[in-house]
Structure 1
Amino acid sequence: MHNYYKFNLLLIILISLLLLASLPAAAQADFAAPELLISTAELNQKLEAGNKNLKIIDVRNSARYLLGHLPDAVHMWGDDLSAVQGWVPELIPDAPDFSNLAQAKGINNDSEIVIYGEEDSPWAARLWFIFKVYAHQDVRILEGGYQAWNEADYETEILPHNPKEGDFEVRDVKNEWLVNSDTIAENMNNDNFLILDIRTEAEYKGEETNTAAPRKGRIPGSIHLEWTAVLDEVGNYKSAAEITDLFQEAGISKEKETIAVLSHNGVRAAHTFFTLQVLGYENVKLYDESWVGWSNRSDLPVEMN
């Protein structure tokens, strides 16, 4: 009888471990909104099921895409994700331009979109943000990116995918997710309006800057937490508890009326915006003009260490 109970206990433990292993990493990490992410196993199941509505987008550079990509994945990169005539380089594309691009990539208004890049790249979050601002609801990011897919030994392709033209059209805009330089300037002394700078420490302190930003430094009163702080040593998300602790230590609270996130040009900021959304923050805006926009405005103040 003792052996019987021992066997059942071991069986229960084994089944529990198997069930835990089958959960998406986001669910294991206890995120508030794990549905914004998709695991490699779940995506592979959708591909094997022949989901005709599924559209996969690769946002790595062209060379990496051509060396291997997910089945039927289309490619977007660089200028595809930026406004052609924006006064600040790499603002999100205008609605008509983005509609045309998405159509050329085979995207429909009812498509189920999955985006992936390198495991620690902010570009997948950037494209996710663009789709969501333009009111496409069914869009997720692949956990672990291409590396996780490749390590799981799932099928890949080399030849570019050339889909039939889609019918995607921007029908609405979530303007409430965006904030501009004037609004940031008006709220520098507003304790309920948090300005979160997620650039490197050297950029934040004014020790260095990047292309198109004529001035070094930071927005007075902004707080700093580098965007990579939420990632582990291989570029995957830390647990929700660890990330929440990081945010709380930095003073990034859900109680704030607004959290405006900026980087150099809005790309890395999109990753932090996405992270905050996954954690259930509902008070987040992206400052798309970011440091390039602020530093080009001579009428706006700059602070340095």
Structure 2
Amino acid sequence: MYTTLISATELATHINDQNWVVLDCRHDLMDANVGQAAYDLGHIPGAQFVHLDQRLSAAKVGPDGVFRGRHPLPEKADFIATLQALGVNNDSQVIVYDAHGGMFAARLWWMLRWVGHRAVAVLDGGLPAWLAAEQQVTTEVPAARNGGFAERDSLVHTVDVIQVLGNISSAAKPLVDARAADRFRGENETIDPVGGHIPGAKNRFFKDNLQADGRFKAADQLLQEWSAVVGDSSHAIMQCGSGVTACHNLLALEVAGLHGAALYPGSWSEWCADASRPVER
């Protein structure tokens, strides 16, 4: 069972296994059509495409009319229906990948754990690593298949905006922001029209988890780096712009053997939508 990362060479030996499901998560936050277009040009054989906005997120505005962030989590029932339509069963080994060092694949990795599926791993280095290992891609779209996935006890934790707000005064839980430093400081108005960060948050850019070749750093190095950031990981909260790249930090923590950190799904995009909430720059 692969539960965090898998190498390109390891995936290649299982590419024809019937109970393996490979999912392509490529995306671009500035152009939502990029992922599908890239998939159509070539993907790992047998891989199915999963769109971040359409299948891994809910409507930005909830039934109560309140803005919930740019990529709020879907209802679990809707996500389970998505998994079933992708052919996922409870005994499936799921592999997720993108072309961005796991930036988007980690979101789906975390979501599968959210509904209790442990056998899910991110392709370390993504499609570039697959191609560097001289593996082939295809434009053939696999036939649809139905899966029988059923929800089990969640393997992860979440916190909501009220809990994050309450944590500001107590500072009981370290809060870590996965955005780039310029966004954290409030200097990138293109992506974050309201700039800054949640008071007390620390900054750990998700790309700091990676080596120069786009693969994850070794577990011992991640352990050393992350221990200095969060201390006891079971009390930590991960957030980012909209609950996507925070999952990359959660994956890095798991690789390092630091378990139990929670995700704030609404993240900065939900937080800054209410002007009454405090902001630091």
Same structural fold, with TM-score higher than 0.5 when normalized by the shorter chain: yes
Following TM superposition, by how much is the alpha carbon of 1:220 offset from its aligned partner in structure 2, in angstroms?
A: 1.1
Following TM superposition, by how much is the alpha carbon of 1:113 offset from its aligned partner in structure 2, in angstroms?
A: 0.7
Paired position in structure 2 for 1:12: none
Paired position in structure 2 for 1:252: 230
What CA distance in whole angstroms lies between the structure 2 residues aligned with 1:223 and 1:163? 43
Contact map agreement 1:196 1:261 (CA 8 A) in 2: yes
Question: For 1:165-244, what aligned pairs fall within 5 Å after superposition?
Answer: 165-174=146-155, 177-209=157-189, 215-244=194-223
* 1:67 partner amino acid: L
Contact map agreement 2:2 2:120 (CA 8 A) in 1: no
* 1:107 partner amino acid: V
Paired position in structure 2 for 1:6: none
Contact map agreement 1:214 1:295 (CA 8 A) in 2: no
Contact map agreement 1:71 1:156 (CA 8 A) in 2: yes
* 2:169 partner amino acid: N
Paired position in structure 2 for 1:62: 36
Residues 42, 244 of structure 1: alpha-carbon distance in 2 compared, 3 angstrom cutoff: same
Paired position in structure 1 for 2:11: 43
Paired position in structure 1 for 2:108: 127
What CA distance in whole angstroms lies between the structure 2 residues aligned with 1:95 and 1:209? 33
What CA distance in whole angstroms lies between the structure 1 residues aligned with 2:158 and 2:197? 19
Contact map agreement 1:119 1:236 (CA 8 A) in 2: no
**Cα distance per residue 1:117-136 (max 9 Å; x no partner):** 11524111000001100111
* 2:128 partner amino acid: Q
Following TM superposition, by how much is the alpha carbon of 1:156 offset from its aligned partner in structure 2, in angstroms?
A: 2.4
Question: For 1:19-38, what aligned pairs fall within 5 Å after superposition?
Answer: 35-38=3-6
* 2:38 partner amino acid: R
What CA distance in whole angstroms lies between the structure 1 residues aligned with 2:224 and 2:161? 29
Following TM superposition, by how much is the alpha carbon of 1:300 offset from its aligned partner in structure 2, in angstroms?
A: 1.5
* 1:239 partner amino acid: A
What CA distance in whole angstroms lies between the structure 1 residues aligned with 2:252 and 2:225? 12
* 2:10 partner amino acid: E
Following TM superposition, by how much is the alpha carbon of 1:115 offset from its aligned partner in structure 2, in angstroms?
A: 0.8
Length-normalised TM-score, structure 2: 0.87
Structure with greater Cα Rg:
1
Following TM superposition, by how much is the alpha carbon of 1:235 offset from its aligned partner in structure 2, in angstroms?
A: 1.5
**Cα distance per residue 1:227-276 (max 9 Å; x no partner):** 11121222211223433343344x321x3651101100011101011111
Paired position in structure 2 for 1:112: 93
2:48 to 48, 52, 74: 74
What CA distance in whole angstroms lies between the structure 1 residues aligned with 2:39 and 2:25? 8
Contact map agreement 1:34 1:278 (CA 8 A) in 2: no
Contact map agreement 1:198 1:272 (CA 8 A) in 2: yes
Q: Percent identity?
A: 29
Q: How many residues align?
A: 266
Contact map agreement 2:159 2:262 (CA 8 A) in 1: yes
Following TM superposition, by how much is the alpha carbon of 1:139 offset from its aligned partner in structure 2, in angstroms?
A: 0.8
What CA distance in whole angstroms lies between the structure 1 residues aligned with 2:258 and 2:275? 33
Query: What secondary structure is seen at the aligned counterpart in 1 of 2:22?
Result: strand
What CA distance in whole angstroms lies between the structure 1 residues aligned with 2:24 and 2:276? 40
Contact map agreement 1:218 1:302 (CA 8 A) in 2: yes
What CA distance in whole angstroms lies between the structure 1 residues aligned with 2:174 and 2:134? 43
* 1:56 partner amino acid: V
Q: Quick check: which one's helix share is greater?
A: 1
What CA distance in whole angstroms lies between the structure 2 residues aligned with 1:91 and 1:115? 20
1:140 to 121, 129, 132: 121
What CA distance in whole angstroms lies between the structure 1 residues aligned with 2:91 and 2:2? 21
Structure 2 alignment gaps of length 5 or more: 27-34, 63-67
**Cα distance per residue 1:2-51 (max 9 Å; x no partner):** xxxxxxxxxxxxxxxxxxxxxxxxxxxxxxx985211222222123xx42
Paired position in structure 2 for 1:102: 83
Residues 138, 119 of structure 1: alpha-carbon distance in 2 compared, 3 angstrom cutoff: same
RMSD (CA atoms): 2.1
Paired position in structure 2 for 1:280: 257
**Cα distance per residue 1:102-151 (max 9 Å; x no partner):** 22222222211111111524111000001100111211111111111112
Following TM superposition, by how much is the alpha carbon of 1:293 offset from its aligned partner in structure 2, in angstroms?
A: 1.0
What CA distance in whole angstroms lies between the structure 2 residues aligned with 1:64 and 1:149? 15
